[in-house]
Each structure stands twice: as structure tokens, then as C-alpha cells.
Amino acid sequence: MDKTIVMTKAVSMIKSGDTLMVGGFGLVGCPLKLIKGMEDTSLKDLTIISNNLGEPGKGLGRLVLQKKVHKGIGSFFTSNPDVVSAYQNKELDIDLMPQGTLAESIRAGGAGIGGFYVKTGYGTKIAEGEEVRYIKGEPYLFQESIRANVALIKAHKADRFGNLIYLKSARNFNPIMATAADLVIAEVDEIVEVGDLSPEEIVTPHLFVDYLVLAGGD
């Protein structure tokens, strides 16, 4: 079994209107080659679940400039002024979540959990209209889990089965997004032989990963 495919094949599996999870914190741990590949397509109306929508003219920020993104779901968009202006021009919807709630929604979505209760945000503007439940006397907000059609993630090394390890703080949202989509494509710096990664060091076991794309390959 070899899950390696070329980038254009990976991008061809994404459809207009899809909900995508895209790994990364800013540009670190972001699958930049796959995003670049999407620039040269006619994809549109995408909903993107990612902590940020790239930076001005970089990463997901380029897809925003191309108006391919219909909605962003994440925690921090203010560092990209292009996202702010697209929102103000009503070209882009935004669903803002506290970063921990975003991460846990993804984790839960990948773990077969329908939703959970979380204290974060209770009593603030972000909680308007949300269901509140008291647990052991303390107020919690209900949060549904989230899943996507496709997750585009970035890892450091993979073996041919799709076992993944990550590099330093480029791990961030990638391991949880690997669990929470119908189709998971991992962009990696290097593909090694099965057995080269020790079972102890593997962070994402291969059953979560459908395809591999080499960051420096075709």
C-alpha cells in the first residue's frame, strides 16, 4: 500500500461548496503546497475551518483574495486585513470561536462525539443565543462538534502507510484535523519506508490518513 499521490490529483478531490479543515497556526504547520494548488482551480464557495485565514497574500489569504472562500470558521482573523475587508464588503462570512472551543469541537468531531459543554465564553458577547446548562452548579455553554468533507494537513514525515510525525510547533491543529474529515490529505516534507518511524514517535496513526502529498514533489 502506498498513499502517495501528486498534488494536482489531491486538489482534484476537493469540490466547490466543500467544507475544508486546514491545519496551521498562522503559516506554521499550514499545507502551503496544497493551498497553492487550489489557487489554479475554479473552486469556489468553500467553507474553511482553520485558526486563521492565512496572512496578507500568503497561504489561505490568497484564496480569500481570489474570493474562493464563502465562510471562515476559526478563532483569530484580525491579523489578516484582507479578511477584515472581505468581511466588511460582505464577501465573506465569519464564525468566530474561542481557540480552545474550536480545537475541542474538531477533536470531538473526530471522536464521534456530537457536542459538549464548555465554560469558556459564558456571559460574554460570544455566548449570545447559546444553550446554557448548569453542571455541579457552574454554567456551561453547549457546543456542537464539527467535521469537514476534506482535511488538508501538514506533517513533517510520513511512512508509506500514512503514519505521521510533526515538526516542533508546526503540529498545532494538524493531528486533530486528521481525525475529523471524510477525506484526509497530508502534505509532508519527507516520505520514509515503513518501519523507519518508531511506533513510539508516531503521533497520527495511518488509519486517519487517506493520501500523502510531498511538499517538495510534483
Partner 1 sequence: MNSKEVIAARVAEELKDGDIVNAGIGIPTLVPNFIPADLDVFLHSENGILGVGPTPEDDKIDENIINAGKKPVTVKEGASYFDSASSFAMIRGGHVDVSILGALEVDETGQISNWAVPGKPVLGVGGAMDLLEGSKKIFITITHTTKDGQPKIVKQNKYPLTSLRKADLIITDLAVFKVTDNGLVLSEIFPNSSMQEVKEKTEGAFYIDEKLKST
Q: Does 215 bind partner 1 (CB under 8 A)?
A: no
**Residue choice 40, 42, 78, 136 for contact with partner 1 (CB under 8 A):** 78
Q: Does 198 bind partner 1 (CB under 8 A)?
A: no
Q: Which is nearer to partner 1, 41 or 87 (CB)?
A: 87
Q: Does 83 bind partner 1 (CB under 8 A)?
A: yes
Q: Does 195 bind partner 1 (CB under 8 A)?
A: no
Q: By rule CB under 8 A, what count of residues binds partner 1? A: 47
Q: Does 26 bind partner 1 (CB under 8 A)?
A: yes
Beta bridge partners of 151: 21, 184
Closest CA to 57 of 80, 31, 91: 80
Q: Which is nearer to partner 1, 42 or 89 (CB)?
A: 89
Closest CA to 177 of 86, 109, 91: 109
- Residue 141 near residue 117 (C-beta atoms within 8 A): yes
In angstroms, give the least distance from the CB of 166 to partner 1: 7
**CA pair distance 136, 7, nearest whole angstrom:** 50
Pairing mode, strands 46-49 and 69-74: parallel
**CA pair distance 191, 186, nearest whole angstrom:** 11
Residues at the interface with partner 1 (CB under 8 A): 25-26, 28-29, 51, 75-79, 83-84, 87-88, 94, 96-104, 106-107, 118-126, 166-176, 203
